[in-house]
A = this chain, B = another copy of it.
Amino acid sequence: MILSILVNEGPYTHQASDSAYQFAAAALAKGHEIFRVFFYHDGVNNGTRLTTPPQDDRNIVSRWSKLGEEHKLDLVVCVAAAQRRGIVDEGEARRNGKDATNLAPGFRISGLGQLIEAGIQSDRTVTFGD
């Protein structure tokens, strides 16, 4: 079955991103396909490579990057939500005159249309948030 996942909260503060990750990993282990993981609202904060969580804690961002790499997942950060919250790739930095980027490997920034498309192309869309 083709699934998509919507993540509405950032890392650590709410369990949403943790639950979404565990769900994604379980779905992949069962042989389902994940069409897209879309990060919206504060969920865009899952896509920063600048986090340094405590050594004995999980690394939420790099865990997504790794899962994405292993399974060629499409990890999409909503551009409008990212602009409000300061998640930036090279193109965004250039367009908005920012002197640094922080997007993590394996993520890309794109429009909200990617969420609607995910809903259309997937058999199921599951939301995780607060």
Contacts and interface: CB of A to CB of B under 8 A. Distances in A.
Interface of A: 10-13, 41-42, 45, 48-54, 57, 61, 80, 83-88, 92, 96, 98, 100-102
Given A12-B85, A50-B98, 16 more contacts: A10-B45, A12-B84, A13-B85, A42-B42, A45-B45, A48-B85, A50-B88, A50-B102, A52-B84, A52-B86, A52-B92, A53-B84, A54-B80, A54-B83, A61-B86, A100-B102
A85 B13 CA distance: 9
A62 to B, nearest CB: 11
Copies in the complex: 2
Contacts of A61: 86
B100 A101 contact: yes
B85 A11 contact: yes
Contacts of A12: 84-85
Contacts of A54: 80, 83-84
A87 B85 CA distance: 12
Contacts of A96: 52
Contacts of A101: 100
